Structures are given as C-alpha cells and as structure tokens.
Amino acid sequence: MVSSAACFFFFFFSRLITIYFCFSPIAHARHPVTRAPDAGDGCVCKERDALLDFMRGINDADNTLASWQWEKDCCRWIGVTCSSNRIRMAGNVIRLELSEASLGGQVLQGRMSPSLASLEHLEYLDLSALVLPGINSSSPKFLGSMTNLRYLDLSGCFLSGSVSPWLGNLSKLEYLDLSFSTLSGRVPPELGNLTRLKHLDLGNMQHMYSADISWITHLRSLEYLDMSLVNLSMVAPGWPHVLNTIPSLEVLNLVKCTLPSTPQALAQLNLTKLVQLDLSSNRLGHPIQSCWFWNLTSIESLELSETFLHGPFPTALGSFTALQWLGFSDNGNAATLLADMRSLCSMKSLGLGGSLSHGNIEDLVDRLPHGITRDKPAQEGNFTSLSYLDLSDNHLAGIIPSDIAYTIPSLCHLDLSRNNLTGPIPIIENSSLSELILRSNQLTGQIPKLDRKIEVMDISINLLSGPFPIDIGSPNLLALILSSNYLIGRIPESVCESQSMIIVDLSNNFLEGAFPKCFQMQRLIFLLLSHNSFSAKLPSFLRNSNLLSYVDLSWNKFSGTLPQWIGHMVNLHFLHLSHNMFYGHIPIKITNLKNLHYFSLAANNISGAIPRCLSKLTMMIGKQSTIIEIDWFHAYFDFVDGSLGRIFSVVMKHQEQQYGDSILDVVGIDLSLNSLTGGIPDEITSLKRLLSLNLSWNQLSGEIVEKIGAMNSLESLDLSRNKFSGEIPPSLANLTYLSYLDLSYNNLTGRIPRGSQLDTLYAENPHIYDGNNGLYGPPLQRNCLGSELPKNSSQIMSKNVSDELMFYFGLGSGFTVGLWVVFCVVLFKKTWRIALFRLFDRIHDKVYVFVAITWASIGREATTD
C-alpha cells in the first residue's frame, strides 16, 4: 500500500514539473502562451522547439507548413511522425519527411538549422524538397551526431562544399541519398564505416571524385549503389574486383564516371544477385567479349550505351534468359550481333541504334526474341515480351520482313531510321505497333494502309511515291510525318480522323489542292506543308487549333487575304507564309501574337503599311512565353531528331539558314519581296530580341528610324530595294552584333556613319551602299556630294569589264561541258531521269509562283503611277 502511494506521488510530481517547464512564461518568453496545447502527451517540448527553430529558417511562401504552429501538437504537423512504442517516451519525433511527394509537389527554400540535432530519437530524415541557396559550407556536421538515423535523404538539396566525413558516425544508417546535390570534392572513405548501409545513392554529383573505392568493400549489406557522374578516372583498373566483394549487390549504376578500361574476366563472380548494371557513357573501348559480366545471368537490365565496346557479342548473351532491357546505342558502329537471342523471351526493350557496323535486316530480325512465325504457330510458354526495338543508324541493308509485326506480336515501338533499307513498307495490320519510324532510308512504293493502333508514323526522307491511301487516317494518330518523298495528289479527308493529332509534316512533296477542313484537330501543335503545290485560302480550321505553335506553309500556292482571326492564334511561335500568293494588307491583329518568334510573309503580294503596335509582340521584346511550354518543341525533336535541320529553315543574312533545336533562339521578321508602302514604324525599335529584319524589295519610304541602334541583338538587317531617304542614323554603328547589312538601291543621302562594325561589313560586301548616289564619305571614295571618281577610274572600270567577260566565258564553257555530262548520265540511268523530271516539275511550280507575284506587283505599281 505504501509502495503504491509513493509511485502515485512520484508520477503526480513529475507531471507537475513537466507542465511547469513546458508552459511557464519563463520557459517560453519568445512564445507567449495563450492556451495549453491540445494534446499534452503528444509532443516533447524540446523537440517541438527544435522544429520551430528549423521552420524559422524556411521561406514558406506557399504556406506549406501552415500546420506547424506552437499551440498545436507537433506530432500532427505535416511531415512529422512521433513514436507510439511504449518502450520509448511518448511523443518523440522519429520521422521528418519534407519531400516533394509528402508536400504535394511543393518545394521549400531556406537553411538547414542545427536545431535538428535535438531530435535525438529521429530515425527517418527526408529533406529532398528543401532548396538551400547560399550555403557555403559542407554538408552539415551536426547530422553526424544524429546516431539513431536509419534513413537520410538530402537529394536535390543545393548544398555546396564537400560531403562531411561525420556522416561516417551514423552507424545505424541503412539508406543514404545525396544524389543531384551540388556537393563537390572527394567522396569521404569514412562512408565505409556505414556497415549496415543497404542503399547508397551518390548519383549525378558531377563535381565529386574518388581515387580509391576500396572503402566500398566494408559495405557487405549493400544492395543499391549509384555513383553516376562521380569521377572515377583515377581508380585502379581492377575496380570490378572491388565490387565483386559485395555479394548482396542488386543494382549498380556507374554512368559517365570516366571509368578506366577493364578488359578482364573475374575468376569467380560473387555478384549473383545483380539484376541491374548500367555502365553507359564510359569510354571503355575494348572488345565486347572481354567484359567481366557475361556470366551474370541474373541480370535483368544491362545498359552499355556510349561505351564504344566493339567486336561481336559473345554467344553467352543467349543465356541471359532473365534479361528484360538491353541498351547498346551510340557505340560508333563497330559491333556485330551474331548471337542467337531467340530464347530471351523476357526481353522487353532492345536498343542497338548507332552501334552495329553492318548487317542484313532480315537475318537480324530472325535472331531476335520471337515465338511466332507464319511457319511456326505460337506454342505455350514461347511468347516474346519485346515491345521496344531500336535498330536505327546501323548501316543495315535489305528489305523489311513483311511479317515483322506478326513475328514479334508484342512490338509497340519500331525504329529502323537512317539505314540503307529498300523495297516497300510492309502492310501492318492487327498488331500492337503504335510507333513506326522508318525515316531516311531508300524505301519505295506507296504508303500502306495504317493499322488503327498507330500513334506515330515517320517515313520521311525516302523514295515513296504515288497518292495518299484513301484510308490514311487513324483515330489514335498523334504524329504523321511523311516529308521529303515523291507523294502526289490531294490529301484525303480521312487524315482528319484523329482528334489527338499533334504533328502533321507533309513538306517537300508534290501534293496539291486544298488542305482538308480538319476542324476536329484542336490539339495540333505543328503543321508543316512547305514546298508543295497546295492552293486555296489559308485553312480555316486553324482558327480552332488553340495549341498551334509552328505553322510552315511556305513555297505553295496559297492565296487570298490573311484573315483577322489569325490574331487569335495566341500560341503561335513560328509563322512561315513566304512564297505564296497572298495579297491585301497585313492584319492589325497580327500584333496580338505575343509569343511569336519568327514571322515571314516574304515573296507574296502584300500591300499597305507595316502594322504599328509592334510592342505587343512581347516575345520579340524579351519577355518569356507564358501560354505554351516550349517543351512541345522538344517533344517534336524526340519524334524527328536528325532531320530537323531540313525542316526548320529560315532566311537570314540573305541565305537560307538551317537549324535544329536552336530554332528556339531565332527571332526574326521577313516581309521582303512584297508591295508594302509607308515608313518603318518607330515601335519596331522596341523589339530588342530581334535577330533578323528583312524589309527589302518593297516600296517603303521615309527615313530609317533614328533609334534603330536600340535593337542591340540585330545580326541581319536588309532594307535594300526600297525608297528610303534621308541620312543613315548614326545609331546604326551601335549594332555590334550586326554581321549582315544591305541598304543598297534607296535614296539615302549624307555622310555614312563611322564605326568599326560598319567598316568590317563594307570590307566583306562593298555593295551595301550601292544605288544611293547621295551618300558620301568613308568607306566610299566620294568625299562629298557630287565629287567625281579618281582620274584612273576609267582604267579600273575597263579592267573590271575585261575580268567580267573572262569570268562569264569560263562560266559558260563549264556549264556547257557539265550539261553534256549530265545529259549522257540521265540518258542511260532511268532512276536519275525520273528524279530529274520531278525536279523540273518542282522548279516549274516555283517559277510560276514567282512570275505571278512579280507580274501582279508590276501591275499594281503601274496602277499606282
């Protein structure tokens, strides 16, 4: 009885002491008490105060940590978990998870407070959502005192300095992730003290290095190791022997580590549990057969891209029956694949692009995993899982097997681009194929009927001919890329069937007529129809394509006036309408296209004035796009990489420039070869991102805007063949990036501005001021208006005439000889003869358009006069 009373008194007294220190005004002078916490037995005061001190260093602009309030139980705060085990004191914080996943995708900014060291019972710490700008020390040393930690994730934190060796004190740690941080320096060998560690991720720490990885041998429980991008160039060539001492290892990622070449086999392999091995982007450069891992038949994922391994694959590859992923791309076309892989029925993805030196497509496909042929029906347990097959850039020859989709029934993605394949495209029906990429081959014949499951079809840059099939459409089609073939005729209405279409690229063919009214294509991003003979007005269905970003209709026969609704296509980044037969004025609402990067109306019959309010073109001023993500462009690059230079072409510096993904940086306006009148709007000088401005071959007049020098990004300026008058603005000399200038054949007068850039441009092209008789001063030989040429000018002119005659005589002779050579070759080579006739047809179309536009322009001038 006495004992029970004493216990009760001791318990009651201890609770009083706890309440006093937790809630007295002295203990919390910085936090005035308004009411007692709502769960007195839930949160230890010391740990709550440590968390609040940590929060003070966080810039929580989105109020993500709104639940972190002093008067509330910290065990109920977001990201905080307390212990419920009776063995421990109730209310100890054992888990602090501030990851993007736990915070609903939010990211926090601030500093990492040492107060976290007061969480003595913490076992789980995830601060991967914490961005730590301005930290100039190594990873916090106080973490080394949190000896109960079992899980530590600081991935993505912008810590600088080196990895703290104090982390080696965390003897209970089983999980450590420092990936994607900005730490630098040596990987501390003290990490070898973490003998319980199962997961170690140092991946994508590109400023880290290690000259000795022997410390890894102490991590006998390690299952996951990622040191991708850590510089391992100084480790001994025997590094596979070090890794071989960890039999528990299941995942090993050493991507782009500058590993030394190791053409050696291991006498006894202990890595029997290894299922994932990634050595990609290390220039190993030895024969494939000498690799140390060919006895590891447990491997499910093997990535060897950009390792420049060469020679034949070993026959041992055929025994990797667990293999699901084999990546062997971009290895310099120095390997051969003769191994029989037909038994690898677990294979899901096979990437061999840019690695094989030669081969026949039919023989290669016959050695791939498959379980069905037309001669051998499917048997139980004999099905392939292969869904992704990339054989691009491999110098493969032959004809695509007609039953390839039947032989590999699970195939979803097939890439045979940039080979030497010939023959027709096989008919693919009732298959799983959703992506068919056959770009840049020598395929002939007509386009086959599309399977209804096809989502991406790229058969551009081939020798396909004939009309479109009537049923070309597919309800699932996302991308239809048929550019640079010999397709003829009209586009059938069935092309409009897909409501999910994102890309239509039919450029560089012989297509004609009006484009179908595809009003249901409301997700269209890219419409590329250039270099055809399409006619009629601007397709009206475009007004409903709210996502449309890139339109190229150049070099066609489109006509009519530009509609006002073009100003509603607010997501347009590129608008190419050059070399058509459009007429009328430029719509004023064109200035509503605030995301516009490049606009070309060159070689049409546009009249009237250049619209004002150009300052509304905010992308050209320098403000970023706010409506559509430019990631759409990168998505297109994923579809058609390698042929973009041909597709994305613009006229700059008086010649056609070709671009890949750098087209995103091109900002320009081309209104040349029209009948524009009036002056240059002053607002044009606000377009400070403009790289190219071409207003040549118009009837523009007035003075060149005085502040043209404010367009400090300008690289190309062409105002030639107009009626500009007055002096050249002195500010023109301020355009330090200018590399092309043409002011010829205007009515400019006065002294030419001086500047080193203008002098350089004149030295490269002495004709930039031709046809302006009122100009004088250096670099011209006229020192003042009306001054005459030097006395020996007649001799100079005579010599120039003689040189010109000799040049033209040589040119004519060479042309005659060359013409006869071409004639003889064409006479005896049928394929060349057909291609030449098609070229003549194309030239005829272009000449017709040019003559029609020029004739209309001359008629307009005559009427005006």
- Cα distance between residue 150 and residue 609, in whole Å: 72
Which ranges of 711-792 would DSSP assign to H, the alpha helix? Answer: 756-764
Between 149 and 828, where is the model more confident? 149
pLDDT tens-digit readout, 508-531: 999 999 999 999 999 999 999 999
Average pLDDT rounded to a whole number, residues 297-326: 95
Q: Which residues contact 320 (CB under 8 A, 6 or more apart)?
A: 297, 299, 302, 344
pLDDT tens-digit readout, 459-470: 999 999 999 988
Q: What is the CA radius of gyration of the chain?
A: 36
With 0-12 / 13-18 / 19 or more C-beta atoms within 10 angstroms meaning exposed / middle / buried, residue 268 is exposed
What sign results for the dihedral spanned by CA atoms 627, 631, 636, 639?
negative
Q: Which of the four pLDDT bands, split at 50, 70 and 90, describes residue 854? A: low
pLDDT score of 41 more than 60: no
CB-based burial, 752-785: b 16+ in 10 Å, e otherwise: bbebebbeebbeeeeebbeebeebbeeeeebeee
Residue 190 lies in a domain: no
Residue type, 388: Y
- Cα distance between residue 530 and residue 551, in whole Å: 9
pLDDT score of 380 more than 60: no
pLDDT tens-digit readout, 659-676: 666 666 789 999 999 999
Q: Which of the four pLDDT bands, split at 50, 70 and 90, describes residue 26? A: very low
Q: Which of the four pLDDT bands, split at 50, 70 and 90, describes residue 658? A: low
Task: Report the relative pairing of strands 93-97 and 80-82 from DSSP bridges.
Answer: antiparallel
pLDDT tens-digit readout, 748-767: 999 999 999 999 999 999 99
Residue 619 lies in a domain: yes
Taking residue 215's Cβ as centre, other Cβ atoms within 10 Å add up to: 18
Q: CA-CA distances (angstroms) from residue 490 to 323, 440, 695?
A: 47, 24, 34
- Cα distance between residue 256 and residue 187, in whole Å: 16
Residue 18 lies in a domain: no
Between 774 and 628, where is the model more confident? 774
pLDDT score recorded for residue 711: 94
pLDDT score of 691 more than 60: yes
pLDDT score recorded for residue 677: 97
Q: Which of the four pLDDT bands, split at 50, 70 and 90, describes residue 630? A: very low
pLDDT score of 833 more than 70: no
Residue type, 859: G
Structurally, the chain folds into a number of domains equal to 1
Residue 169 lies in a domain: no
CB 344 within 8 A of CB 320: yes
CB 331 within 8 A of CB 370: no
Q: Is 116 left (phi over 0), alpha (psi -120 to 50) or beta?
A: alpha
Torsion of CA 429, 433, 434, 435, to 10 degrees: -110
Tokens of residue 432, six digits: 């799983």
Max CA distance (Å), the chain: 134
Task: Report the relative pairing of strands 151-153 and 486-489 from DSSP bridges.
Answer: unpaired
- Cα distance between residue 656 and residue 669, in whole Å: 14
- Cα distance between residue 485 and residue 436, in whole Å: 17
pLDDT score of 17 more than 90: no
Tokens of residue 703, six digits: 């003075």
Tokens of residue 299, six digits: 């491997």
The whole-chain average pLDDT of the chain stands at 84
- Residue 598 bridge partners (DSSP): 574, 668
- Residue 696 bridge partners (DSSP): none
pLDDT tens-digit readout, 155-175: 988 777 888 899 999 999 999
Task: Report the relative pairing of strands 442-443 and 420-423 from DSSP bridges.
Answer: parallel
Q: Give percent above pLDDT 70 in the chain.
A: 78
pLDDT score of 559 more than 80: yes
Residue 236 lies in a domain: no
With 0-12 / 13-18 / 19 or more C-beta atoms within 10 angstroms meaning exposed / middle / buried, residue 798 is exposed
CB 750 within 8 A of CB 770: no
CB 507 within 8 A of CB 552: yes
Between 809 and 612, where is the model more confident? 612
pLDDT score recorded for residue 16: 43
pLDDT score of 420 more than 90: yes
Task: Report the relative pairing of strands 435-437 and 413-415 from DSSP bridges.
Answer: parallel
- Cα distance between residue 340 and residue 316, in whole Å: 9
Which ranges of 278-358 would DSSP assign to H, the alpha helix? Answer: none
Domain range enclosing 761: 549-785
Tokens of residue 675, six digits: 């009948």
CB 525 within 8 A of CB 548: yes
Residue 373 lies in a domain: no
**Residue 774 belongs to domain with CATH number:** 3.80.10.10
pLDDT score recorded for residue 61: 82
Tokens of residue 196, six digits: 């319980």
- Find tokens 């590109």 and name the residue: 206
Q: Which residues contact 85 (CB under 8 A, 6 or more apart)?
A: none
Element (H, E) at 582: strand 581-584
pLDDT score recorded for residue 70: 86
For the chain, how many residues are written? 865
pLDDT score recorded for residue 271: 94
Say which DSSP state 450 is in.
P
Torsion of CA 61, 65, 69, 70, to 10 degrees: -100
Taking residue 743's Cβ as centre, other Cβ atoms within 10 Å add up to: 23
Q: Which residues contact 567 (CB under 8 A, 6 or more apart)?
A: 587, 588, 589, 590, 591, 592, 593
- Cα distance between residue 585 and residue 605, in whole Å: 9
With 0-12 / 13-18 / 19 or more C-beta atoms within 10 angstroms meaning exposed / middle / buried, residue 417 is buried
Q: CA-CA distances (angstroms) from residue 775 to 731, 733, 734, 735, 783?
A: 17, 16, 19, 20, 9
pLDDT score of 789 more than 60: no
Between 790 and 716, where is the model more confident? 716
Say which DSSP state 356 is in.
B
Q: Which residues contact 99 (CB under 8 A, 6 or more apart)?
A: 126, 128, 129, 153
Element (H, E) at 682: none
E-strand spans in 158-300? 175-177, 184-186, 199-201, 207-209, 224-226, 251-253, 276-278
Residue type, 442: Q
pLDDT score of 626 more than 70: no
Average pLDDT rounded to a whole number, residues 366-388: 65
- Find tokens 């073009």 and name the residue: 566
Average pLDDT rounded to a whole number, residues 292-301: 93
- Cα distance between residue 527 and residue 550, in whole Å: 6
CB 390 within 8 A of CB 352: yes
- Cα distance between residue 157 and residue 187, in whole Å: 17
CB 324 within 8 A of CB 301: yes
pLDDT score of 32 more than 60: no
pLDDT score recorded for residue 820: 64
Q: Which residues contact 770 (CB under 8 A, 6 or more apart)?
A: 744, 745
CB-based burial, 446-478: b 16+ in 10 Å, e otherwise: ebbebbebbbbbbbbbbbbbeebeeebbbebbb
Q: CA-CA distances (angstroms) from residue 315 to 366, 473, 789?
A: 16, 44, 82
Taking residue 352's Cβ as centre, other Cβ atoms within 10 Å add up to: 27
- Cα distance between residue 278 and residue 253, in whole Å: 5
pLDDT score of 3 more than 50: no
pLDDT score of 794 more than 50: no
pLDDT score recorded for residue 850: 59
- Cα distance between residue 492 and residue 249, in whole Å: 58
Task: Report the relative pairing of strands 58-59 and 108-110 from DSSP bridges.
Answer: antiparallel
Q: CA-CA distances (angstroms) from residue 592 to 522, 552, 715?
A: 20, 19, 25
pLDDT score recorded for residue 438: 96
Collapse the DSSP code of 303 into the 3-class scheme (helix H, G, I; strand E, B; otherwise coil) and give the result. strand
Question: Within a 13 Å sphere around the CA of 314, how many CA atoms are in the beta-carbon half?
Answer: 14
Residue 507 lies in a domain: no
pLDDT score recorded for residue 374: 46
pLDDT tens-digit readout, 57-74: 888 888 889 999 988 889
Residue 103 lies in a domain: no
- Find tokens 């493969």 and name the residue: 396
Top mean pLDDT of 103-107, 265-269, 559-563 is at 559-563
pLDDT tens-digit readout, 175-204: 999 999 888 899 999 999 999 999 999 999
Instruction: Compute the 3-state secondary structure of the chain and give helix, strand, coil in percent, each to the nearest 5.
Output: 25, 20, 55
